[in-house]
Amino acid sequence: MHTTSIRLVEPSDGPVLADLLARDKQAYVRWLPARPTEFYTPDGQASVIASLLASHAQGLAWPGVVVSEGNVIGQVTISSILRGPFQKGFLGYWVSSLHQGLGHTGRAVGLALRVAEDELDLHRLEAHTQLENLASQAILRKHGFRAWGIAHEHFYADGAWRDEMFWERNLTGGTPS
């Protein structure tokens, strides 16, 4: 069995993330927004990571990487954190195509749920999937997320507006202070 863990992203993760993203660019074109060429470079990822860590320092995000056998193989992020009466965040994730089908994504989502509840004290997580992304929907269902609606023409990727399914999961934490 392959091990899976998650941890906060670090500036030193830039080159490996750039490599994984560049390698999978065509495989994920249907699911991800168009990005400038620099996004797929170590310098571009260094800039992205700096922005993510700044959001983390402000309490607005928990930007993580997915790790297996000591190697970064993807990302998992809790972003758009709202406090006060909401106590919620937005879950996003991806695992390199080289490491799919081994359970890493599902385990990373389960670990992110623990971070959201135990570390971030959130009450709710939300996620979106394109209607055709059945694998991601199965992972969310397995971890207790419920579909709660469809947003038509919600997300632009691969030259077209895509419909997305909205998902929710309430957690036990998150009492506003």
pLDDT digit string, tens, across residues 104-157: 999 999 999 999 999 999 999 999 999 999 999 999 999 999 999 999 999 898
Closest among 50, 21, 51 to 36, alpha carbons compared: 21
Residue 175 lies in a domain: no
Residue 59 lies in a domain: yes
Closest among 102, 125, 103, 105 to 113, alpha carbons compared: 125
Specify the amino acid at residue 64: G
- Residue 35, domain extent: 5-170
Closest among 21, 26, 139 to 75, alpha carbons compared: 21
Mean pLDDT for the chain? 93
Q: Could you tell me the CATH number of the domain that includes residue 11?
A: 3.40.630.30
Closest among 13, 62, 70 to 42, alpha carbons compared: 13
Residue 82 lies in a domain: yes
Weakest mean pLDDT among 61-70, 85-94, 128-137, 166-175: 166-175
Report whether 14 contacts 49 (CB < 8 A).
yes
User: How much is the average pLDDT of 161-176?
Assistant: 90
12 CB burial (10 A radius; 0-12, 13-18, 19+): exposed
Domain count, the chain: 1
Residue 138 lies in a domain: yes
Residue 13 lies in a domain: yes
What are the start-end ranges of the E strands in 99-159?
124-130, 146-157
Residue 80 lies in a domain: yes
Residue 122 lies in a domain: yes
